[in-house]
Structures are given as structure tokens and as C-alpha cells.
Amino acid sequence: MKGPVSGHAEGPLAIICGGGTLPFTVAEAVSRRGREVFIYALNGWADPARVRAYPHRWGAIGQFGRFRRFAREAGCRDVVFIGSLVRPAFSQIRLDLATLRVLPRIVAAFRGGDNHLLTGIGRIFEDAGFHLVGAHEVAPEILMGEGPLGAVAPAAEDLADIALAMQVLRATGPFDIGQAAVVAGRHVLAVEAAEGTDLMLARVAALKKAGRIGAAGGVLVKAPKPGQDRRIDLPSIGPETVEAAARAGLRGVAVAAGSTIVAEPQAVARAADRAGLFVAGVGKEFEP
């Protein structure tokens, strides 16, 4: 069994870098532990200003051959895939020969929902001799702990809503649907599927504004799907999640402690305190 901080310390760590600050939190944490980092920056997603601080190469989504060449040149065997990346628009995808060879498998995975897609992609890396590692394995500090992150804690009524939302996620989990739901006053307002958390929260905000939702308050709850490949696709929150939850009139955000990534925890705590929301990690007793 591996410890929380995974081994394979031979060679630098390749980080396939999507959007947001999270890839750099991981890069810093890994560098701090004395391991070199090579960043494969995804065009249109990775932040150029921050990529520059590390050995890096740019590439598009779909250029698996390009990644494989650069990562091998850099002497990487372990690969982490991290950062925001909504399902890419097809116009953004560039395919190279190596990808075309595995394309039928990607398409097959794409048809089967997010879990299958990501699991399929994971296997393609493994088949090319890479070892796909979870970002939280090399940088456990990115995981949400138990308890509130800011000054506000969930009240008893919030705990009831959190428990109901977790039950909903447990029920929808086998169908590989989403990682989030919104519950207010024991009423399920929204279930996330292909649209993602931000659009789901925007919908709740719009419904409340239109007077279509009677219940006040409410909570956003995120938790990993059962059976999901946690190396690639842990649920995550950041300051913008808290701000979107505030715009939707929610009382707080609850996530599964130990299996949810928090981008910029200090900024999340500040955003929560500013909006008067709680942001809390909840334990196994709540998890789906």
C-alpha cells in the first residue's frame, strides 16, 4: 500500500495543465518536496503567465503523441492531469497521429458518460507506459478536510439538506450523472448532469429571481461519484464556486471531506466569510 504522498520519485512529474490556479498549487507543492515538475500546458486553458515559471511545453487537447514525446524527453513517467477543463468544444481539439490511433477508444469512452470517458483516457496513458497519478496523491494539501473552512458553520437545518443531497448523489451515482446537487428546505432544486456546477448554480439563481423557487436558503453539495476514477476526476471547489453559490442565494457549500479538491483554500475561506456562507467538509457519515 502506498502512503498519501505517492512514491515513484524517479524523474520529474508531468503535469497536464488545464485552467485555473490549481495546477500551480500542485506544482508548487511537488517542487517544495524536492521533485522536479514538467508542465504540458493545454492551449486555451493553462495560464501562460504562470506556466512560464516551470519547464513546459504547449499543446492542444487531443495531441497525445505530442505529449508523449515531450514527457519522455523530459524523463517523466508519472503524470498528473489537473485544472479546469469543461468538456472541450470540438473546434478546440487538435488531433495528432498517436491520438488518431486511439481515437476509436476515446469515442467509445465519450459515448459512455464522464466516468467511462475519463477511465478510458486513463488507460490510454497507462498503455503508453505512463503512470497516471492523482493530484491529491502528490499534493494531499489540495484536499478539503473535515469541518468549516471559514467562520460560518452549517446549522442543523443545513445538515438535513446536506444529508438529503448526499442521498440524491448516492442514488444518481450508479448512472454516472454529476457530482453535485442543490437542496433547500428538503426540496431538491437542481441535480447536476452534463451542464456542470456553474451552470447549475446559475439556473438556481435564475429560478429564485423569477420566483419559481419557494424555498429560501439551501446548500450546494458536491461529492465524488461511486466508482469514479479519482486520479483524474475528483470534484473540486474554488472561490468562484462560493461566489456562484452566494448569487444563487444559498446558505453554504458542503463537500465530501478527503475526496474533494479545494483550489485556493484561503481565498475560499475569505469568499465564504465575505458572503456569510459556510464552506464545510463533511465526513463519511454523509458520503454517497
Binding residues for a copy of itself (CB under 8 A): 86-92, 110-114, 164, 167-168, 171-172, 174-178, 182, 185-191, 193-195, 199, 203-204, 207, 210-215
Nearer to a copy of itself, 110 or 267 (CB): 110
* Sign, Cα dihedral of 20, 26, 32, 38: negative
By 3-state DSSP, what share of the chain in percent is helix, strand and coil, each rounded to 5? Answer: 40, 20, 40
Nearer to a copy of itself, 11 or 113 (CB): 113
Nearer to a copy of itself, 27 or 254 (CB): 254
Which grid coordinates belong to 243?
A: 461566489
Least distance CB 133 / a copy of itself (angstroms): 26
Nearer to a copy of itself, 26 or 106 (CB): 106
Nearer to a copy of itself, 2 or 90 (CB): 90
Least distance CB 160 / a copy of itself (angstroms): 11
Least distance CB 210 / a copy of itself (angstroms): 6
Burial group, residue 252, by CB count within 10 angstroms (0-12, 13-18, 19+):
buried
Least distance CB 177 / a copy of itself (angstroms): 5
Least distance CB 5 / a copy of itself (angstroms): 35
Angle between helices 97-110 and 64-73 (to 10 degrees): 120
CA 14 → CA 72, 79, 176, 210, distances in Å? 10, 5, 28, 47
Least distance CB 217 / a copy of itself (angstroms): 11
DSSP for 176-228, written as a single string: T--SEEEEETTEEEEE-STTHHHHHHHHHHHHHHTT-------EEEE-PPTT-
Q: How far apart are CA 8 and CA 102, in angstroms?
A: 26
Least distance CB 222 / a copy of itself (angstroms): 16
Short-list 79, 85, 65, 102, CA closest to 30: 79
Q: How far apart are CA 178 and CA 156, in angstroms?
A: 26
Q: Count the residues in the chain.
A: 288
Nearer to a copy of itself, 204 or 242 (CB): 204
Nearer to a copy of itself, 137 or 161 (CB): 161
